[in-house]
Amino acid sequence: MTYKFIGVAVLLLASRLVVAAVPEPMDPRDFSKLTTEQRIEQGKKLREELKKATPEERKQFRQKMHEKMQSLTPEERNQIHEKMRAEWGKLTPEQKAKMRAERKSMIDSLTPEERQQMREERKKTLEKMSPEEKRKWMEEMHKSHHPEQEKPAS
């Protein structure tokens, strides 16, 4: 009887660890080397896993991701950003709409406290930007939130 109890306890603990475990963020350099389709699929899987995670696990994930991004040189960050931006421009309107919907669903699944925390993190990031960087970022966010105003790719 004791062995069954221990076995069940170990099984429950192991299943909790498997369900709750959030993957380690990918190195941004490696992530940028994936094809667009691979990145879309990777992002979708990650968002699903993060939805299942606890608020603390999601916060730890964001912190680790931020640390990985900060470990890059400014030139590397800029190159990755430009590559992602160019590839975003090549997506079909349907692909963009689908990705926006998935991201919105992820944000909607967060607690109000997590959303506030993310706003504060974004505010701190904006405070560190130069006026030119901030202007570019704000323009990109505007485009992201108002896709109907996006210029067609030529």
DSSP conformation class of 149: G
The one-letter code for the residue type at 125 is T
| pLDDT of 62 strictly over 80 | yes
> Is 33 within 8 Å of 83 (Cβ atoms)?
no
pLDDT band for position 15 (50/70/90)?
A: very low
**Cβ contacts of residue 111 below 8 Å, gap of 6+?**
55
Q: Predicted confidence band at 33 (pLDDT cuts at 50, 70, 90)?
A: very high
DSSP state at residue 53: S
The pTM of this model reads: 0.68
Give pLDDT tens digits for 142-151. 776 666 665 5
Place of tokens 């603990």: 13
Domain residue ranges in the chain: 21-129
